[in-house]
Structure 1
Amino acid sequence: MHLCLPDLCSMSHSRNTCSSILAFFLLLSRIDSLVFGELDLDFSKCRDFFYKKMPPKGLNGVGYQSICQRFENQYRFASLYHRQNRTPLYSAYIISSADGKRPNSTWMYEPQLAFSNAEPEMKPFDDTPLDQNVIESQAVLQDYKNSNYTRGHLNPSMHQKTSEDRAATFTLTNIVPQKAGSNSGPWNSLEKQVLRKFKAFCEGPMYVITGALPYANGAQWLNNRVSIPEYMWSAYCCPFYKAKLPRDVRPLFPTYAAVGRNDRDSGEEIVSVNPKARLSLRGYDVRKMPLQTLESILAQRLAMPISLFDGQCQ
């Protein structure tokens, strides 16, 4: 659409009226530019990473931004990002058995969060000073430097098949501040258990959504910029699984979920502490639960009704 702004101004009765009209159309142009690239409201370019191509219902609100995570010109997974918190609320992906080792981490960021006309492709951090727009729009490596937190993957690299898919998980828009006791302890064990269940019992795709829960009573921040989660959570959906499951495995299909502690000083209303756990891991416990229980926890903490998988993956 072409706007004849000079003609509009010539019809105006005052300089102020002309300025207002110009400002209005510049605003329209700005709004139109914000839908460029892979940032949209409903993951329209990467719905294959969700069961029945349906993103979770209820997980939305002011400040949330969907990202179709793109690396080497291919979609790899999807993340719902919170701009003010500078962390993802969740990442959604299809699990696969890795065909190689964990890659050397080349950390990346999302130019599209900073610039409305940027290419929709994650970009590696390098020695070039970052534009202030990038620093304001998302977490950067400096935020984690000399901190007591690791860079915790929501979509873990070893849940991805190819080296390219694994490399794509090293974007900070897939990362939250995670305590080492959780990241390399009980949460790491959970990730391995989910992968084993997929390989042993799934006969089709397994859809995984993994996310983070902020503190209920006042946010806590890394470097005064990045929201620290109190808990990690994860759920899977495996609609096609073996007809004859072992008795102890039957409750785990087609869905199951878990919540893990990221703060050993948190209360025990969501996840209790195992007093017999090794001291270095105590307080980073993981509680496994049915999908509906996780959705109730999320709904209470986030104050919105939640449905992670369409039709409960039935």
Structure 2
Amino acid sequence: MMLLVLLFISACWHNTPGNAEVVTSFEETCPQFFFKETPPGIGLEPTHPARICQRYKNQYRYATLYNKDKRIPVYSAYIYNPGTAKRPNNWMVEPQLVDLSLQPEMTSEGALLQKSRATQAELWNSQAILKDYKNLTNYNRGHLNPNSHQPDLDAKKSTFTLTNIVPQFIKLNGGTWNNYEQQTMMSNTQGCKETFALVGAVPGNNYIARGRVNKPSHLWSAACCFIDNNHIRSWAIIATNDKDVVEQLTLGQLEEKLAELYNRNGISLFHSDCPRE
């Protein structure tokens, strides 16, 4: 009898979300993507969140807090480490948003449906799919964690999951936002030993795909750069998702702005050691 109990406990332990890609805690599974292993504090979490340690080729690549109701990410957290590998273009989804018992690695829609018991309806209900982003007007697929900030081909491929994507104003995505990703980040990270980035989206009042996928009202990005134990710097931006304009902010100003947008008393994006001014 005791043996049966032990086997049952062991089976349950191996099927807990914490041992797979959709996890119960970033701190326990993939804390390395956050400055001083500290995820953002309470304030950004949606009613029905999913914490995803984004896993590809049996390796965690970055972390995403996903809003299951609005089918967009709240933020993606990663380490800035740009490389020169070519841009991929094969899109993937998250199996464990369909069912926690499915594989812990992102995969294509076709592979998921062919190789598991998941149905098209279950996939459709669980997250955004490629069809949601077809035939958009003035908007396209905007990465939170951009592939250009990743070091090699596999790391870049891992950013092409729809759990890392929001509908982004096309002129912003290819304009000032792209300038920030390609030029400002490179300039601001000079002298940094390690740069932790957070990029997020504030849910808006409009949707694409007949109400399935939320169209964010704002996009934001913040970074905390570790130079040495006595020198840490930060910076931030925010943009409304209908204009090609990026506003430069301090980290503290961004946190205040997000608190207003989310109607919260306060929001903390990084560990308190990251300067707010």
Q: Same fold judged by TM-score > 0.5?
A: yes
Number of residue pairs matched? 255
| 1:121 alignment counterpart | 105
Q: Which of residues 282, 290, 309 in structure 1 aligns to 2:250?
A: 290
Question: 1:65: how far off?
Answer: 1.3
CA displacement 1:79-107 (0-9 Å, x = unmatched): 0000000000000000012132222x110
Cα distance in 2 for residues equivalent to 1:284 and 1:232:
11
| 1:238 alignment counterpart | 225
Tell me, what secondary structure is at the counterpart of 2:160? coil
Q: Structure 1: any 5+ residue segments left out of the alignment?
A: 4-28, 245-252, 264-282
Q: Which of residues 208, 218, 221 in structure 2 aligns to 1:222?
A: 208
| 2:177 alignment counterpart | 187
Cα distance in 1 for residues equivalent to 2:215 and 2:237:
19
Cα distance in 2 for residues equivalent to 1:312 and 1:111:
36
Instruction: Give the residue type in structure 2 aligned to 1:239.
Output: F
Cα distance in 2 for residues equivalent to 1:77 and 1:35:
16
Cα distance in 1 for residues equivalent to 2:133 and 2:120:
18
Cα distance in 2 for residues equivalent to 1:40 and 1:61:
16
| 1:37 alignment counterpart | 20
Cα distance in 2 for residues equivalent to 1:134 and 1:173:
13
CA displacement 1:6-37 (0-9 Å, x = unmatched): xxxxxxxxxxxxxxxxxxxxxxx8xx856562
Q: Is the 8 A contact 2:171 2:244 kept in 1?
A: yes
Cα distance in 1 for residues equivalent to 2:46 and 2:160:
26
Q: Is the 8 A contact 2:238 2:248 kept in 1?
A: yes
Q: Is the 8 A contact 1:94 1:205 kept in 2?
A: yes
* 2:268 corresponds to 1:307: yes
* Identity across matched positions, percent: 39
Cα distance in 2 for residues equivalent to 1:237 and 1:199:
9
Which residues of 2 match residues 88-237 of structure 1 at below 5 A? 88-103=73-88, 105-126=89-110, 131-148=120-137, 149-202=139-192, 204-215=193-204, 219-223=205-209, 224-237=211-224
Question: 1:47: how far off?
Answer: 0.6
Q: Is the 8 A contact 1:159 1:195 kept in 2?
A: no
Instruction: Give the residue type in structure 2 aligned to 1:284.
Output: D
Tell me, what secondary structure is at the counterpart of 2:227? coil
**Bigger shift: residues 297-306 or 128-137:** 128-137
Which residues of 2 match residues 54-65 of structure 1 at below 5 A? 54-58=38-42, 59-65=44-50
Q: Is the 8 A contact 2:189 2:225 kept in 1?
A: no
Cα distance in 2 for residues equivalent to 1:199 and 1:205:
8
Question: 1:54: how far off?
Answer: 0.6
Q: Is the 8 A contact 1:182 1:261 kept in 2?
A: no
Question: 1:74: how far off?
Answer: 0.2
| 1:278 alignment counterpart | none
Question: 1:61: how far off?
Answer: 4.2
Cα distance in 1 for residues equivalent to 2:17 and 2:82:
36
Q: Could you say which structure has the higher strand fraction?
A: 2
Runs of 4+ displaced beyond 3 Å = 32-36, 127-130
Q: Structure 2: any 5+ residue segments left out of the alignment?
A: 6-11
Q: Which of residues 23, 35, 47 in structure 1 aligns to 2:31?
A: 47
Which residues of 2 match residues 46-85 of structure 1 at below 5 A? 46-58=30-42, 59-85=44-70
Cα distance in 2 for residues equivalent to 1:113 and 1:126:
16
CA displacement 1:58-78 (0-9 Å, x = unmatched): 232421111000001000000
Of the two, which has the highest radius of gyration? 1
Tell me, what secondary structure is at the counterpart of 1:164? helix
Cα distance in 1 for residues equivalent to 2:16 and 2:238:
38
Q: Is the 8 A contact 2:46 2:67 kept in 1?
A: no
Tell me, what secondary structure is at the counterpart of 1:200? coil
Cα distance in 2 for residues equivalent to 1:295 and 1:232:
13
Cα distance in 2 for residues equivalent to 1:88 and 1:229:
10
Cα distance in 1 for residues equivalent to 2:103 and 2:239:
35
